[in-house]
């Protein structure tokens, strides 16, 4: 593994038009992780065998890549807190990667570290550490939001149904099997649906699904690569208010969707930190149609091989 700061000529070839000092790269074999320390410390792009897995800055100069927000959203007013989402992060090298450190966020009272380690050409380990820099206790959860091109397939195991959440603000809350039957498959065990390239909504006029998952993973399959995010499974009762464990958002204005997940919602005492680990797996698959159960078996094999979620 080796790392480098990019040059502008390389950025042009990659199709990412931002100054060279805004890019840091992790590379192993045919996998390349492009980080943007000067723009919220986000993952700007991921290339696997030459294929771009995320929506990059050429599609939208602000809503691109993979970022972190504090959860629940009701604790801050849109847009996301700039110190966390948009500002520069300090960069420090570590084995197989980098730690990116934010400044203190006055809006949330948090300071955030993002640790990225490319453990192999098929596994990126991301560790978020949020520290309460105030003198008061607070409650919060982690929230990872990853923007990916449309025209792919979403799969994750279904968990429990919400109780009487309603379907306000354009959101779909998974409440009963009958509510979202068209998004579920294999005897209601999996959410399994495609988001077409011209999709403006997820279902009807609803743009976002909020659901409880199970097994601690969700996947997006597109052009022969399954992007799987693996995390500690959170029980329905431990979720942040008005949030799902797994969320899927379809943008009406831009050609991307968001694959999102939340940690447990917990008390964070003054001066203390809350660590959350997410492992990204990049799994090649046959273009032939697989059932949801076949996809799940493929993913669970890879999770077990790496001893994740144990």
Tokens representing residue 115 in the block:
């640790």
> What is the average pLDDT across 206-212?
87
Spatial separation of the C-alpha atoms in residues 126 and 116, rounded to whole Å? 5
Q: How many domains are there within the chain?
A: 1
179 within domain boundaries:
yes
CA–centroid distance for 170 within its chain: 21
What CATH number does residue 286 fall under? 2.70.98.10
pLDDT tens for 66-122 read: 999 999 999 999 999 999 999 999 999 999 999 999 999 999 999 999 999 999 999
> Residue 17: pLDDT above 80?
no
Domain of residue 146: give its range: 2-305
Instruction: Name residues whose C-beta falls within 8 Å of residue 73's C-beta, 6 or more positions apart in sequence.
Output: 242, 243
> Residue 263: pLDDT above 70?
yes
Spatial separation of the C-alpha atoms in residues 86 and 88, rounded to whole Å? 7
At residue 44 the predicted structure's pLDDT band, cuts being 50, 70 and 90, is: very high
pTM, two decimals, is: 0.90
190 within domain boundaries:
yes
C-beta atoms surrounding 271 within 10 Å: 11
85 within domain boundaries:
yes
310 within domain boundaries:
no
């Amino acid at each position: 593994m080796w790392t480098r700061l990019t040059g502008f000529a390389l950025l042009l070839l990659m199709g990412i038009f931002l100054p060279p000092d805004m890019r840091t790269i992790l590379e192993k074999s045919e996998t390349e992780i492009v980080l943007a320390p000067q723009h919220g410390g986000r993952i700007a792009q991921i290339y696997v065998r030459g294929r771009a897995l995320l929506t990059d800055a050429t599609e939208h100069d602000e809503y691109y890549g993979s970022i972190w927000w504090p959860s629940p959203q009701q604790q801050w007013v849109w847009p996301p807190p700039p110190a966390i989402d948009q500002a520069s992060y300090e960069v420090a090298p570590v084995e197989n990667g980098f730690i990116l450190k934010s400044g203190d966020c006055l809006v949330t009272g948090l300071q955030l570290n993002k640790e990225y380690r490319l453990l192999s050409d098929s596994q990126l380990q991301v560790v978020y550490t949020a520290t309460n820099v105030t003198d008061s206790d607070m409650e919060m959860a982690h929230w990872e939001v990853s923007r990916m091109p449309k025209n792919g397939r979403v799969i994750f195991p279904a968990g429990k149904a919400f109780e009487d959440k309603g379907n306000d603000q354009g959101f779909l809350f998974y409440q009963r099997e009958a509510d979202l039957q068209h998004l579920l498959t294999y005897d209601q065990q999996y959410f399994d649906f495609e988001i077409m390239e011209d999709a403006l909504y997820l279902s009807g006029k609803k743009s976002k699904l909020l659901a409880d998952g199970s097994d601690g993973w969700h996947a997006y399959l597109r052009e022969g690569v399954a992007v799987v995010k693996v995390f500690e499974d959170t029980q329905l009762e431990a979720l942040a208010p008005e949030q799902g464990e797994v969320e899927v958002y379809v943008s009406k204005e831009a050609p991307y969707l968001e694959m999102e997940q939340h940690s447990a919602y917990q008390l964070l005492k003054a001066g203390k930190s809350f660590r959350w680990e997410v492992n990204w797996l990049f799994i090649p698959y046959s273009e032939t149609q697989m059932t949801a159960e076949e996809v799940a078996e493929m993913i669970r094999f890879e999770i077990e091989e790496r001893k994740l979620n144990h």
